[in-house]
Structure 1
Amino acid sequence: MHRVLSIVTDYDRAAARDRVVLDADDRHRRRIVLTGEKGTQVLIDFPAPVAMRDGDGLVLDDGSIIAIAGAPEPLVEIAAPNAFETVRLAWHLGNRHTDVQIVGAKVRIRRDHVLEEMLRGLGAHLTPVEAAFDPEPASPHGHDHQHGHGHG
């Protein structure tokens, strides 16, 4: 079994030794054993969790690279008539701590009938899609629910 030394974004994808296909949750790991489509087994063992994105490469202890592909997931693509409305919709999603991916002028989220109903009520146009989900990384400060005001 090979050990992963680092993650790279710039590499020759055609020269990749193998490929692992992972959903968004499985691409955020500290430690895991992965098996590529050609059977290559690799160990990821980093001191802290890392976020791997669709298209990244895992550099192995022998110098070879395993490509990371995002597994298609059921998503909804959110469109609004203008930039202001897009920001307003994104604010509502962020206020609910929803993972979002920005794709051009649109926002993608995992399918969720409650959020979809809310977004339609706010005037969003929704299109179901199956695609790799690469949500924006979480803020580095963490979130401990201490906002300086009472929740009583």
Structure 2
Amino acid sequence: MRESTCQRIIPHGSGSNHPADTITLDETARHRRRAKLTSDGGIEFLLDLPTARLLRHGEGLLLEDGRVIEVRAEPEALLEVRADDPRHLLALAWQIGNRHLPAQIESDRILIRRDHVIEEMLTGLGASVAHVEAPFDPEGGAYGDSHSNHHHHDHNHGGHGHSHEHGDHDHSHHHHAPHHHD
């Protein structure tokens, strides 16, 4: 019997309330486009999505035979970052974002992966930082769900590479001819 294929993700709360099984994965393992996966109960299937995305806690993986495998986010070792007030939390979020760290931003806290260097920086900025075990569901960000940061800074943000084209003028820097910009 050939394995089932999943080509559709159904949102949390839609579809059947009785999934055939669950699959429990940490955040890194939930960032997928195409992969052979095995559910917690042993159902083997091929995930085959048009683009890579983060499978979020509670979403359903719809198999072609109609069964649904519910995604469970495995608790991970995280830092819970809290602040004195909303503006302070925004400033901390900016510091975290400026370092391209995946972050789950909530109204009263930010969750990031544990990192003692970042922990010291945030404590130095007045944050209250606690070690927690929790599912990690970071923001998709401006570039959709293609996290360009799974600790390999390739900075090719989903097709918006830095190709340095500068309009019509060329960059041949001849020092004899004057540089005309129309």
Equivalent residue number for residue 127 of structure 1: 130
8 Å Cα contact 1:8-1:58 kept in structure 2 = yes
1:3-152 matches, cutoff 5 A: 3-9=5-11, 10-11=13-14, 14-140=17-143, 142=157, 144=161
Q: Deviations over 1:72-93 (max 9, x none)?
A: 1000110001011000000000
Runs of 4+ that moved beyond 6 A: none
2:143 counterpart SS class: coil
One-letter code aligned to 1:75: L
Higher strand share: 1
Q: Deviations over 1:38-78 (max 9, x none)?
A: 11111111232122101110011011100000011000110
1:62 counterpart SS class: coil
Distance 2:86 2:107 in 1: 11
Distance 2:29 2:73 in 1: 9
8 Å Cα contact 1:30-1:44 kept in structure 2 = yes
Q: TM-score scaled by structure 2?
A: 0.76
1:138 counterpart SS class: coil
Higher helix share: 1
Measure how far apart 1:27 and its partner are: 1.0
Equivalent residue number for residue 180 of structure 2: none
Structure 1, unaligned runs of 5 or more = 148-152
One-letter code aligned to 2:68: I
Q: How many pairs were matched up?
A: 148
Q: Deviations over 1:9-37 (max 9, x none)?
A: 13356410011011111111111011111
Bigger radius of gyration among the two: 2
Distance 2:88 2:16 in 1: 38
Measure how far apart 1:103 and its partner are: 2.8
Q: Which moved more, 1:5-14 or 1:107-116?
A: 5-14
- State the structure with bigger RCO (CA 8 A, min sep 6), 1 or 2: 1
2:6 counterpart SS class: strand
Q: TM-score scaled by structure 1?
A: 0.90
Distance 1:132 1:114 in 2: 22
Measure how far apart 1:139 and its partner are: 2.1
Q: Classify 1:50/1:26 alpha carbon distance in 2 versus 1 (closer, same or farther; 3 Å).
A: same
Percent identity between matched residues is 41
Q: Which moved more, 1:68-77 or 1:40-49?
A: 40-49
Structure 2, unaligned runs of 5 or more = 145-156, 165-182
Cα RMSD, aligned residues only = 2.0
Q: Which moved more, 1:115-124 or 1:34-43?
A: 34-43
